[in-house]
Structure 1
């Protein structure tokens, strides 16, 4: 096959540079990618710190963890019991206390490369592990197929089996959750990685990869002797470290391969659109970088790097061999890319190859940009990433990445204290600025939850204890507001309302209302760029957060914040939804209405009128479509309180027609039933 030469096309360097800029806009600049990775990493560190030894470790893996944010992509999650460990040979058992650790032995003697049986050496306290145990040759093994069926819908209701994962949808986003087991040791079958890594990844990274071991996911080899019981060795964390080791041009080439596979290769025919997967393209880029097939991976060589990878993929399809990067003896094409399907796929790829660079014109994401450069071959392109993305766009991404998470899975004081201690320990480590901001956000979240948990604990105590707890709670909320978002002020108002201090709550609400009314407010992915830049441009992100950034109010459904929302929170919780997401302006008018009911009925009605206009007429600027179920519900609650039962009934009925993000239908239907039963009026 004729090899690709960068000089074959006039303006090749210009096209590569232009494509670099376009891919930065689609996939992210190096600064954006670093932000995504660093925030995910620090959140995971906190999670691991507070997970008990008999708990469950849960991490994000796959493309999301690597730094991509491609629209329509699913989110991969890995979970494993913290007190279960796989060992490679019996001598490694001496590193564990078998009194509190379940040991599992990897037995790959009869399995194809990359697969193994898992022998249960010591009893497991996990019911799903016990139920998945099978006896073979007087030994107890964990059946991968049974384990997969038992855990498939454990976290996401109505999940379906997809490879080793349970696949389900939450709020329109597809999640793939893989329940697995962790091993602290590097498998002998993958030892070649250590020997062949001289230039990439760096030896220090390889050492880190080997020290962190591997995982085992619940799927066997279709041609193996024990397909239903075998487990596949997963190098997910090693792959993540390899992707982190790429320079940005390599990362964008990897992203271009993703786009090319999804938008071009997999669109050729139904016969072949499922033969190649994301793991194949990742394997291609790993081998292409390690074999040093391109001396310089830079913006000017982006197309050359893509072509190297495409040629390697074409060669593999022709030969029917795609060697796993960590265990080369494991042919990733063995079960799918063979026979007539292999021949058809090769012919399709070869037709694309014969078109040369023109094959990229079939990619809907980048076609128009390439055409522009082809018609302007002497176009000057700036590849300085600082000029590719505006500071406002980066701030918008910061807001998205630093969004709150349900860190406190167990809402009790002990768990909150553990989180705060974890933050205290992490602060002493060398952290990036992004990670510091993430810890600030986490600290504010934990303080909010601590205050409302503390209130439930002290509500029945002596007056002196209540007074002390109240002073401490007020101090924590004000402290959190000092490094939180503008919207964090509403947690103070919620607490004042809950403790019957309506005037204090109203005062906080009015201050917050003024800040939220500023024309430069950044909220819900929108901002007036010029006014934002003029008002807070050049300031640190922490100052911008306090002055010009708002986010929705997140309520842990196991904690009571506002009595009027108890039925909705209980309904959500019963249906597996741990958090209620309240649009900040809905919460503002809701609290305003509740507080002014005790102070000034005219102002209370005015707040209700504003809430009604917002819910009825907002086009997505202040009220996301996903949150309309809870927004209509809150409007109905306010209308019912005022005695406007017909309007309340309409609002509840509207809530039932919205996307059921919060699963509050049980509460809504009960409210409708109460309305109908409480009045003889025929609505």
Structure 2
């Protein structure tokens, strides 16, 4: 009975740490829509990008990276020549697997026709008179030439940062066919996963990531078969207790097993934990996975890991012949790891008292055996907290930015197509925000395309369309998205129109129920929009940071900052909405009402100088001080501008604008 109560208490703790069923669902759904939009066939993109790994699975654990897989759409890997019949070789370069000299789960990739893209050819080597794609050379080429700027090699990936995200991107190849070496997995799927999941997994084939087996004959040239897509589908088919068991094992690994170890001494990784959960579920090691036996599920998986370390064999879930311990867990290292794990095993469930994330939930039960534990997710996390997380998730996945006007047209057609599918409320909500972004970007690109054509009639028509688009976008997006209307009016010299919009936004941003990131009066918010749809909440009661893509110029006064940012491999400026509002109010009022311009500047100064991380987040103080300095410089107060620019340089360089700041200081000529 005590173990059952501890299970319930730990379930609550893990839900708060990792996510309730609702949180995990909306994280996946929101990412699904972002992927569908970016990878739609209508776009005819040369490369497919897929988010994978723990972030895609629904985890949001601190310190975890965003895993990205990219592959060429005009290349396909086949397992034998009979599969050539399914392709038009004018459209697809075919690559043949040669696994004859590779360990299980690895292969060489042979180009039988020796016809491919420059990218692939530059990574080829000759062996026995035939052309093979070298994994080490492909990693080098894709990381240095085709990767995001600033990425560095890390395993099969290139690692770096993109705006707020730390990422690992793996350039790989795709096969539409299930590997013959994994055929035994199909026969094992009696109890789990269900048949429709098995069929879906097989239908989607596999990938090949650019890393060879350390003990193989062709380490530098081999490729590892990746089941990343299949694993995601398996994780999605878990019930929530199984998912939390996986999460608990990840915490166990991070906070207990690997705690205090140097990176080179960390022999177990998150993938081993995932593999243990897969095997435990499929082998029905636990007859029923539910809240009350979370600890039993954890213990089953831990004993399986202990057995694997003792035997020195960790069988890959899809290709059991692939022993994932072969290259690093053997000899003295294996003995040391087993000893360490066995000592933990001897402590029983008390071993989890070493976990900062779990400890208190076990102690609460031990110290108060009569403690009432409520595991209902709606009680665990309030509506306001759920909304905060959803809006944050939507903003993080709102990444569609391009200068190609035709691409935005295709995006809108794709949105129309997606609306015809059976969608969840989170799918629809994400589509709504993406639609707002598409309309905003389209409006500003249209304006920039036709400004210098010399045709007044054409410019008038385009301006009318762009104006309508940016107004329409405000009907879909956050309250703060109305600032794009004000920006558009300012850009087109309609200062009074801009100020009229600013007056409306100012009232909306001043409402006591407004949610801005984690800053919100919960009682007022619940009273104003509690129980209403996410769409209504977003349009009436939520503001987010304004994101200015550095490839587009929205406000001429911020062009140096955008140029500096992109030179420092940062792709967007993020600005607190109230800071941008006061900037626009100052810039517009200068032309029509100088007293109002001074009041706006005073309001901006008070906000930037005295805000306590509520309306000006700490990480956005660099751009906020910068904007204050720009407005002060325009008003002629050069000493105040100098002070603001110096303050900007002292902040955390979130927006990478230091080059522009230093140049502005130099231009003051004080």
Classify the TM-score, shorter chain.
Answer: over 0.9
Matched, 1:528 2:521: yes
The 8 Å contact of residues 171 and 626 in structure 1, kept in 2 or not, is answered as no
Cα shift at 1:126: 4.1
The 8 Å contact of residues 50 and 419 in structure 1, kept in 2 or not, is answered as no
Q: How many residues align?
A: 668
Normalised by the size of structure 1, how large is the TM-score? 0.95
Counterparts of 1:310-459 in structure 2, within 5 Å, are 310-403=302-395, 405=397, 407-459=399-451
Cα shift at 1:404: 5.7
The 8 Å contact of residues 53 and 66 in structure 2, kept in 1 or not, is answered as yes
Cα shift at 1:273: 4.5
Secondary structure, counterpart of 1:559 in structure 2: coil
Cα shift at 1:124: 5.9
| Gap change, CA 1:502 and 1:404, over 3 Å in 2 | farther
The 8 Å contact of residues 520 and 532 in structure 1, kept in 2 or not, is answered as yes
Matched, 1:248 2:232: no
The partner residue of 2:16 within 22, 25, 41 is: 25
Matched, 1:209 2:201: yes
Matched, 1:138 2:143: no
The 8 Å contact of residues 317 and 337 in structure 1, kept in 2 or not, is answered as yes
Structure 1: distance between partners of 2:488 and 2:638: 28
Matched, 1:11 2:2: yes
Give deviations 1:27-49, integer Å, cap 9, x for gaps: 11000000000011111010001
The 8 Å contact of residues 398 and 433 in structure 2, kept in 1 or not, is answered as no
Structure 2: distance between partners of 1:572 and 1:50: 32
More displaced 10-residue stretch of structure 1: 488-497 or 267-276: 267-276
More displaced 10-residue stretch of structure 1: 111-120 or 396-405: 396-405
Task: Tell me the residue number matched to 2:553.
Answer: 560
The 8 Å contact of residues 193 and 282 in structure 2, kept in 1 or not, is answered as yes
Cα shift at 1:53: 4.2
Secondary structure, counterpart of 1:161 in structure 2: strand
Structure 2: distance between partners of 1:624 and 1:129: 45
Structure 2: distance between partners of 1:376 and 1:474: 63
Runs of at least 5 residues in structure 2 that lack an aligned partner in the other structure:
none
Structure 2: distance between partners of 1:98 and 1:615: 60
Structure 1: distance between partners of 2:550 and 2:151: 23
Counterparts of 1:181-192 in structure 2, within 5 Å, are 181-192=173-184
Task: Tell me the residue number matched to 1:595.
Answer: 588
| Gap change, CA 1:227 and 1:51, over 3 Å in 2 | farther
Structure 2: distance between partners of 1:269 and 1:139: 44
Task: Tell me the residue number matched to 2:471.
Answer: 478
Cα shift at 1:72: 1.5
Give deviations 1:181-207, integer Å, cap 9, x for gaps: 111111000111110001110111011
More displaced 10-residue stretch of structure 1: 267-276 or 558-567: 267-276
Structure 2: distance between partners of 1:125 and 1:566: 41
Structure 1: distance between partners of 2:566 and 2:653: 13
Normalised by the size of structure 2, how large is the TM-score? 0.97
More displaced 10-residue stretch of structure 1: 257-266 or 624-633: 624-633
The partner residue of 1:224 within 216, 224, 232 is: 216
The 8 Å contact of residues 177 and 205 in structure 2, kept in 1 or not, is answered as yes
Task: Tell me the residue number matched to 2:70.
Answer: 79
Task: Tell me the residue number matched to 1:5.
Answer: none
Cα shift at 1:136: 0.8
Matched, 1:59 2:59: no
More displaced 10-residue stretch of structure 1: 645-654 or 101-110: 645-654
| Gap change, CA 1:395 and 1:271, over 3 Å in 2 | closer
Secondary structure, counterpart of 1:264 in structure 2: helix
The 8 Å contact of residues 14 and 378 in structure 1, kept in 2 or not, is answered as no
Task: Tell me the residue number matched to 1:285.
Answer: 277
Structure 2: distance between partners of 1:645 and 1:289: 68
Cα shift at 1:123: 5.2
Give deviations 1:215-235, integer Å, cap 9, x for gaps: 111110011000000010110
The partner residue of 1:671 within 647, 650, 664 is: 664
Cα shift at 1:474: 2.3
Structure 2: distance between partners of 1:30 and 1:471: 46
The 8 Å contact of residues 114 and 131 in structure 2, kept in 1 or not, is answered as no
The partner residue of 2:295 within 303, 321, 324 is: 303
Cα shift at 1:525: 2.1
Secondary structure, counterpart of 1:478 in structure 2: helix
The 8 Å contact of residues 322 and 332 in structure 1, kept in 2 or not, is answered as yes
Cα shift at 1:150: 2.1
The 8 Å contact of residues 61 and 78 in structure 1, kept in 2 or not, is answered as yes
The partner residue of 2:93 within 91, 94, 102 is: 102
The partner residue of 2:484 within 474, 488, 491 is: 491
Secondary structure, counterpart of 1:117 in structure 2: strand
The partner residue of 2:112 within 113, 117, 121 is: 121
| Gap change, CA 1:512 and 1:124, over 3 Å in 2 | farther
Structure 1: distance between partners of 2:201 and 2:573: 38
Give deviations 1:127-170, integer Å, cap 9, x for gaps: 43221111111111111111112222543444332211112245
Cα shift at 1:121: 3.4
The 8 Å contact of residues 47 and 407 in structure 1, kept in 2 or not, is answered as no
The 8 Å contact of residues 219 and 232 in structure 1, kept in 2 or not, is answered as yes
Secondary structure, counterpart of 1:306 in structure 2: helix
Secondary structure, counterpart of 1:191 in structure 2: helix
| Gap change, CA 1:449 and 1:270, over 3 Å in 2 | closer
Cα shift at 1:272: 8.2
Structure 1: distance between partners of 2:582 and 2:635: 15
Task: Tell me the residue number matched to 1:37.
Answer: 28
| Gap change, CA 1:605 and 1:32, over 3 Å in 2 | same
The partner residue of 1:511 within 504, 510, 515 is: 504
Secondary structure, counterpart of 1:597 in structure 2: helix
Secondary structure, counterpart of 1:477 in structure 2: helix
Structure 2: distance between partners of 1:12 and 1:407: 45
| Gap change, CA 1:128 and 1:658, over 3 Å in 2 | farther
The partner residue of 1:662 within 647, 652, 655 is: 655
Structure 1: distance between partners of 2:358 and 2:536: 37
Give deviations 1:244-283, integer Å, cap 9, x for gaps: 0000000001100000010011126559841000100000
Cα shift at 1:560: 1.8
More displaced 10-residue stretch of structure 1: 66-75 or 31-40: 66-75
Task: Tell me the residue number matched to 1:176.
Answer: 168
Structure 2: distance between partners of 1:532 and 1:385: 20
More displaced 10-residue stretch of structure 1: 248-257 or 556-565: 556-565
Secondary structure, counterpart of 1:267 in structure 2: coil
Counterparts of 1:629-644 in structure 2, within 5 Å, are 629-644=622-637
Structure 1: distance between partners of 2:322 and 2:548: 47
Secondary structure, counterpart of 2:100 in structure 1: coil
The 8 Å contact of residues 565 and 571 in structure 2, kept in 1 or not, is answered as yes
Matched, 1:575 2:536: no
The 8 Å contact of residues 143 and 153 in structure 2, kept in 1 or not, is answered as yes
